[in-house]
Structure 1
Amino acid sequence: MIAFRDVDDADPALLHSPIVRAIEKTFAYIAEHGGIALTPSKAFKRSFVHWAAAQFEWPGYSEADLFAVNKVLNEMDFGPLMDLHDMMIALKIGRHYKGKFKLTRSGQSLVGHPGRLFGIITPFYLFEVDHLRFSRRGARPLGNWDIFLNVLNVEAEKGATGGDIRRALYGEPDNNRFFDETLSSLYVQVLRPLCWTGLLHENRSDGLSRTERSMFTKTPLWRTALRLATDGKLRPRTLH
């Protein structure tokens, strides 16, 4: 069982969380505009999606990144925003009402409380959300969150590349394959969600081997929020 510590609302480590930052900005937008206008299919309207692209400053999904491949933005063009929308509905933070997305009483109680928000959103996002829905490949990495977090607790202490983490968990990749499906699955389902919650930071690399060469480090939020079996212990054994 992964144990999360409570994070104080005033803890500056929360600034490392893209999810918390984005939801807090969404709360402020709702307060100013009386809700978020919805399309007939109950997606966020383009006006809000464009606003979110500019305001969220989401890693890998900046306004420039998104408009480089889209002339206009619908919610489905901004994957992290779709995740936030779905999570806020699932956690009853918000609801659809008369053509708008509005906060519930539970959601209103989280306004101004980023630490409590992080404690609710993060376990749900890591352990319950289907991170494969934006992936073209359906393979799941061998292991579970207890293994992933405890291995990363040691490997990423001073920073580790995606390739380092892949080898720590599964050994060397097959050099005869152009595409490392294991590393891709590990990134989509483990490393990227941890970055988006703010527990890891990715120093992104460029090119075809970006994930392999990108450097991952634990943020102050990792040390603040997580209690793990490998805290202060020896390096875990690998899975291969």
Structure 2
Amino acid sequence: MIELLPVDDAEPAFEHSPLLKGALLTLEFIETNGPIGLTPSNALKRYFVEWAAEAFAWPNYTAEELYHLNKVLNEGDFMPLFMLHDLLNSLKLVRRKKGAVHITKLGKQLRSHPGALWAVLAERIFGGFNVTPYARYDVPFVGNWDVFLGVINVETHSGCTDDHLYKTLFGTRRANQEMRHVNLRSAFYVHCLRSLVWLGLLHESTVGEGLNRQRIFTKLPLWFAALRLETDTFIIERQVH
């Protein structure tokens, strides 16, 4: 069972959560500048996407990186914003009305309490928020958060690769199941590891290049401040021995 601990609004570890930063900046933008305009397809208008790309400075999705791939920026080009928009709407922190995104009463309340805002974002993701629309490929979720977090809690305590995590959770690949493992590995990264990085619970770094490139994951201070897991006892026992 995943237990989120209450975290003080002034907790420095929140600085590592691009999802919280993006949510706070979006809610602040609406309160300061008014509702954000929507296109006929209910996407955020380009003026806000361009502003958000600069203001969020989202790791691996900075304005410089986005403009390197796109001459102009639409919401679909800025994948984290695309996800954040739907996440805020599903949590009723914003609402779409008359061609624009408005902040709600709940959104105004949580904007002043980052700890509580982060908690509702985390609970929504751990509660089964579907991130498939925000992936390059159709990668349905396989597994459950209780198992994933329990294993990751132990294995990343001193840092480990995504390859190690994948093999620990799903086993080694077989020659006749190559494509299945490729898809499953992509799903595990998109649904689980990337979500934990965006929440500010894990740090992701890379080593090597090309086919030798590997992702390394380590726990961030927010992990220890916000999570209490059943496998915490295994870490204590490992440290004692």
TM-score between the two structures when normalised by the length of structure 1: 0.89
The 8 Å contact of residues 83 and 131 in structure 2, kept in 1 or not, is answered as no
Does residue 222 (structure 1) correspond to residue 234 (structure 2)? The answer is no
User: Which stretch shifts more, 27-36 or 1-10?
Assistant: 27-36
Q: Which runs of 4+ in 1 moved over 6 A?
A: none
Q: Distance in 2 between matches of 1:209 and 1:102?
A: 45
Q: Distance in 2 between matches of 1:175 and 1:234?
A: 34
Task: Give RMSD over aligned pairs.
Answer: 2.1
Does residue 198 (structure 1) correspond to residue 200 (structure 2)? The answer is yes
Q: Secondary structure of the equivalent of 1:41?
A: coil
Change in CA separation of 1:234 and 1:7 when aligned onto 2, cut-off 3 Å: closer
In structure 1, list runs of 5 or more residues that go unmatched. Answer: 236-240
In the other structure, the counterpart of 1:131 is: 131
1:228 CA displacement? 0.2
1:208 CA displacement? 4.5
Letter in 2 for 1:202: E
User: Which stretch shifts more, 75-84 or 163-172?
Assistant: 163-172
Q: Alignment partner for residue 182 of structure 1, among 165, 181, 184?
A: 184
1:140 CA displacement? 3.6
In the other structure, the counterpart of 2:121 is: 121
The 8 Å contact of residues 4 and 227 in structure 1, kept in 2 or not, is answered as yes
The 8 Å contact of residues 46 and 74 in structure 2, kept in 1 or not, is answered as yes
Q: Secondary structure of the equivalent of 2:137?
A: coil
Does residue 36 (structure 1) correspond to residue 25 (structure 2)? The answer is no
In the other structure, the counterpart of 2:163 is: 163
Letter in 2 for 1:223: F
Q: Distance in 1 between matches of 2:120 and 2:10?
A: 16
Change in CA separation of 1:63 and 1:175 when aligned onto 2, cut-off 3 Å: farther
1:130-186 deviations in Å (ceiling 9; x for gaps): 122224243543x31111000000000011111111122123234684873332221
The 8 Å contact of residues 14 and 200 in structure 2, kept in 1 or not, is answered as yes
**Residues 85-104 of structure 1 correspond to what in structure 2 (within 5 A)?**
85-104=85-104
In structure 2, list runs of 5 or more residues that go unmatched. Answer: 237-241
Q: Distance in 1 between matches of 2:107 and 2:227?
A: 24
Q: Secondary structure of the equivalent of 2:69?
A: coil
In the other structure, the counterpart of 1:238 is: none
Q: Secondary structure of the equivalent of 2:217?
A: strand
